[in-house]
């Protein structure tokens, strides 16, 4: 089976086209051009705002002209992650799609179903001639995966819609009606360099972790490569020449490595530490491994680099509080995301999330305080608001009824511990009623990301029916 045989054909056709277009955050120009090309082909009005977001307007079907306008929204960019050893350049190479039973995945990279399947679905509606819909707006934002930047810069007042349908949901049988806000905290410190001491040079690497989305997957108990590496380096007591790990602020780091110099025998210690970590993570992250390889001897090491090891070992990561109102929902969390060194300059990036603004800010202050104790300066930014649930709104009630009518079950109402653009765009266009939904996608933001093929047809059936009932 290949992707061109999958149903609904219109969605999978556009998804395959998008998979062939490199579209990392900040590099969505070609994907935007593809969307604009579809609007031009159909003779529809298209607007590009100053940030690079796109709005396309489609008139109502005959007889539906008086219906309230609705917006379908999705983001053009994708998280670009790949497995070690995968030869893939996200700036030029297409995503290699693989059909594996009921799952669509990629060969060693992220799939981009987040949010390529939303874009593809919107384009399928855009070109459809058999949906009896009211007037529609199609909103395609950029830079969602780097702090909802495109939505944050979205032109206020541009939209005319009463209803806002975000197509960035990832769990079948649910309707999302709220999400957390976010904040980035970045720490920096410059260390003096000193000549490397006696001993051999080694590359210590933590790998094999599942990673995942720092909001959706934060409560799953998965390992954090930076914290594990800090623990290893602290136990080894070696000199540190450089250290790197993680790739995105909104992804749980899967890999991290350091170049060290040590006179001690390390193989036995590494084996013991790996056994400890494996036992602690258990089934949460069973493939974790700690590797030790010889490295080219560095001329210099970080003076006082042990402070980095201690910091990584103790900096918070994971759930800070659960919601007292929504069972099973994470309320506040923090993600220890990336670390990089250039010479003596060290930069560590983290992100905090919470449905409560005061809790989000408190988490940021807590993380900053720990960085300050280790001699780091901090900078905070990239903040965005949450989306307050309105379970009694008209769009929620209607969506539940339509879902029950066409799919035979009332969808579960959920809120997400992740950033959705609903809160940001809703703040600029007050009064819109909002809902978020989508087909089933798992392990987003990691090379294990995959789309459940059999969930796409019900999602499409529901979307078409909802548009006809609005």
Task: State the catalytic residues.
Answer: 77, 144
How far apart (Å, rounded) are the C-alpha atoms in residues 126 and 118?
Answer: 12
How far apart (Å, rounded) are the C-alpha atoms in residues 335 and 316?
Answer: 8
φ, ψ at 30 (rounded to 5°):
-70, -35
How far apart (Å, rounded) are the C-alpha atoms in residues 235 and 248?
Answer: 27
φ, ψ at 253 (rounded to 5°):
-65, 130
How far apart (Å, rounded) are the C-alpha atoms in residues 158 and 146?
Answer: 22
Q: Where are the beta strands (DSSP E) in 44-199?
A: 45-48, 54-58, 70-75, 97-100, 103-106, 136-141, 163-166, 174-179, 181-190, 193-195
Per-position b or e across 215-231, b if 16+ CB within 10 A of its CB: bbbbeeebbbbbbbbbb
Q: Half-sphere exposure of 16 toward its Cβ, with a 13 Å CA cutoff? A: 15
Q: Which two tokens stand for residue 42?
A: 């159909």
Q: Is the peptide bond preceding residue 173 cis, with omega within 30 degrees of 0? A: no
φ, ψ at 45 (rounded to 5°):
-65, 130
Give the residues across from 346 on adjacent strands. 189, 341
Q: Is the peptide bond preceding residue 8 cis, with omega within 30 degrees of 0? A: yes
Q: Where are the beta strands (DSSP E) in 263-342?
A: 289-294, 300-302, 318-322, 330-342
């Amino acid at each position: 089976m290949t992707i061109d045989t999958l149903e609904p054909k219109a969605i999978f056709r556009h998804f395959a086209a998008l998979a062939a277009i490199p579209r990392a955050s900040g590099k969505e120009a070609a994907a935007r051009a593809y969307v604009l090309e579809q609007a031009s082909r159909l003779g529809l009005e298209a607007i590009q705002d100053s940030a690079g977001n796109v709005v396309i307007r489609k008139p109502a079907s005959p007889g539906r002209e008086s219906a309230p306008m609705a917006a379908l929204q999705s983001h053009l960019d994708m998280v670009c992650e790949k497995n070690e050893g995968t030869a893939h350049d996200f700036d030029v190479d297409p995503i290699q799609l693989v059909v594996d039973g009921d799952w669509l995945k990629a060969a060693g990279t992220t799939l981009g179903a987040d949010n390529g399947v939303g874009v593809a679905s919107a384009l399928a509606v855009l070109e459809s001639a058999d949906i009896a819909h009211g007037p529609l707006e199609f909103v395609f934002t950029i830079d969602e995966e780097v702090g909802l930047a495109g939505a944050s810069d979205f032109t206020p007042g541009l939209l005319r819609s009463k209803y806002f349908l975000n197509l960035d949901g990832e769990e079948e049988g649910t309707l999302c009606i709220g999400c957390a806000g976010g904040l980035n905290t970045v720490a920096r410190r410059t260390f003096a360099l000193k000549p490397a001491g006696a001993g051999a040079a080694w590359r210590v690497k933590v790998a094999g972790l599942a990673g995942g989305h720092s909001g959706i997957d934060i409560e799953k108990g998965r390992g954090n490569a930076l914290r594990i590496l800090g623990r290893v380096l602290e136990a080894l007591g070696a000199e540190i020449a450089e250290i790197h790990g993680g790739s995105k602020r909104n992804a749980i780091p899967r890999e991290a490595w350091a170049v060290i110099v040590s006179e001690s025998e390390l193989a036995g210690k590494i084996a013991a530490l790996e056994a400890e970590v494996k036992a602690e993570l258990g089934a949460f992250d069973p493939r974790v491994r700690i590797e030790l390889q010889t490295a080219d001897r560095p001329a210099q090491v970080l003076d006082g680099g042990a402070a980095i090891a201690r910091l990584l070992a103790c900096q918070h990561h994971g759930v800070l509080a659960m919601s007292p109102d929504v069972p099973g929902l994470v309320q506040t969390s923090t993600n220890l995301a990336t670390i990089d060194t250039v010479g003596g300059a060290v930069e560590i990036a983290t992100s905090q999330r919470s449905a409560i603004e005061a809790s989000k800010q408190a988490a940021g202050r807590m993380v900053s305080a720990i960085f300050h104790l280790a001699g780091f300066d901090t900078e905070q930014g990239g903040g965005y608001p949450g989306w307050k649930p309105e379970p009694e709104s008209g769009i929620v009630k209607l969506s539940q009824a339509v879902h029950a009518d066409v799919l035979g079950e009332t969808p579960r109402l959920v809120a997400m511990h992740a950033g959705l653009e609903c809160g940001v765009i809703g703040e600029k266009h007050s009064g819109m009623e909002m809902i978020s939904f989508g087909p089933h996608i798992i392990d987003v933001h990691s090379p294990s990301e995959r789309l459940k093929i059999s969930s796409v047809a019900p999602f499409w059936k529901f979307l078409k029916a909802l548009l006809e009932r609005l």
